[in-house]
Amino acid sequence: MCEILLDSGALLEERDFMSGATPFLMAVQYNFRTVNILLQRGAEVNVRDNRGGTAFHYVGNNLETLRTILDYGGEVNIKDNEGNTPLHIFIDLQLNSEFIELLLERQADVNIKNNAGFAPLHLAVLKDQTSVIE
């Protein structure tokens, strides 16, 4: 269905009027197959919603989608409006350590502080994420 709509002129970067999310950001949250289609059609991988949220905010617990985002040039140290990087976000959400390891493999900076002055390690301590701290 997505391909038919795009072939018929649907706007790839059209934003939801409330959140500012694009079809790509919504696909990241709900539909892995559509993520690939939209990226192949030229969707902006580092697009932000009205809160500065990126695909990393929407990825949920889908490691394959995270890999796809990174493979298409997702900026591993991109910040949202609160200064949080994907590393901050994943630690705060207490995602599986595989997510953290993948970001670190892709050169995530462990020393970037958010607007509150917290580096990812601060959040890991606050969230008692022993596996991340190690």
To the nearest whole number, what is the mean pLDDT of the chain?
92
Contacts of 64 (CB under 8 A, 6+ apart): 32
44 with 95, same domain: the answer is: no
What are the tens digits of pLDDT across the range 43-80? 999 999 999 999 999 998 899 999 999 999 999 999 99
Q: Could you tell me if residue 67 is inside a domain?
A: no
**CA–CA gap between residue 30 and residue 7 (Å, rounded):** 21
Which structural domain, as residue segments, surrounds residue 9? 1-62
The total of structural domains in the chain comes to 2
Mean pLDDT of the 101-124 span: 95
Token output for 7? 């072939």
